[in-house]
Structure formats: structure tokens, C-alpha cells
Amino acid sequence: ASWLPQGLTQEWSLNHLQLGGQFWLSWADGALQRAVTQVKVARLEGQYAERKPASLTDMQLNSYFGRDAEGLQAQLANFSARAGEQQIGPMNLTLRQHAKRGDAAGFWTLSFDRLQVAPLLPLVESLAPIPDKGLSALATLNPRGALTNATVGFHPDAEGDKRVQFATNTDAISFSVYD
């Protein structure tokens, strides 16, 4: 999209966007305090660099954003879409920024209830800034199944393996043989 700053989009292209929805915003103290949205996207198409474009259709989501003394919270509720013939969702996702309190460092958490892996492969192939060898390996592995009750924690001030933490349940996760 030519109206977006080049620094924001880098090598990503937004080829088509057709959406409608409702937005409610609350602004105070020079910042967004709360936002609620209901969005329906008929079609969203984009790509990274010169890759084949990926499309999402029939996308629906309700979202909430809030700011308080604890930090920031963004929620996507009942997110669903179609990627080609495959259904994504419905799923619920929460991103939370936990503010620094006293000597305790601030951190981020991302959690979601259920994520089917297979429908994401064409989106990753089209949109992720992954080298061609990595994309080839991913296509060969052909991941399937679902991640459930997942939480990812990011602690920017921590070092080593304490910086990122991940916990999830799996449901019929499988991979093909990699040669």
C-alpha cells in the first residue's frame, strides 16, 4: 500500500483489503485508554518480497484494548478466517504488557486457546521473512495438528534462556520426515 510509510512495511506488500466494522475509542491523558472493535474482512491479500501472495477471506474478529496501572492488554475474541480452503479458528488471543513494578522488570505475555498449524503454512510461506532454505525445510516437514492453551512469555531484561518462555498443550501434532 503506497500510503503506508516504507519503514513500516519494508518488503511486505498489501495487495487487497476489503473490510468493514465498528470502532469505539476512549482517549484520556494524551493516550488511548480503551478501544473495542468488531471487524469483518471480506478479503485480505499480501506478500513478502517477490513471493506468491497469500489471501485471507471471511475474516471476523472482535477486539479489546485496555490500559491500566498493571500495563496494556489487547484481546482478539472469536478470530476466524479462511486461508484458501482451510479454516483458521475460531480462536481467542490475549497480548499483555505487564508494567515494571518496583524492582520487578516489566514483561510481555501472549496466550491463545487453540491454533491449528496446517492452515498457517501457506501464510508463513507468503508472508514470513524466512530464507528460502528455511521455507523448503518447513514445507518438507508439513506440520499438522494444533497447539492448545499456549502461553509465550517475553522478558526483555532477562538473559539467556530466561528471556523467552513457552508452554503449550498439543493435539495430534505431527511432522513428515525431513531428508
Q: What is the pLDDT of residues 22-74, one digit of tens each?
A: 999 999 989 899 999 999 999 999 999 899 999 999 999 999 999 988 899 99
Question: Where do the DSSP E strands lie in 69-176?
Answer: 71-83, 86-98, 107-116, 144-154, 164-174
Phi and psi at residue 23, to the nearest 5°: -135, 135
Can you give the pLDDT at residue 2? 67
Neighbours of 116 (CB within 10 A): 18
The one-character DSSP state at 11 is T
The overall pTM is greater than 0.85: no
Asked whether 101 and 129 are in contact (CB, 8 A), the reply is no
Low-confidence ranges of the chain (pLDDT < 50): none
CB 76 within 8 A of CB 116: no
How much is the pLDDT for 84?
A: 85
Radius of gyration over alpha carbons of the chain, in Å?
A: 18
Residue 69: the pLDDT is: 84
Beta bridge partners of 39: 21, 61
pLDDT of 19 reads 93
DSSP SS3 for 162: helix
Q: Is residue 145 within 8 Å of residue 119, measured between CB atoms?
A: no
Q: Which residue has the cell 520487578?
A: 104
The 10 Å Cβ neighbour count of residue 55 is 18
Sign of CA dihedral 170, 151, 112, 21: negative
How far is it, in rounded angstroms, from Cα 156 to Cα 176?
34
C-alpha cell at 21: 466494522
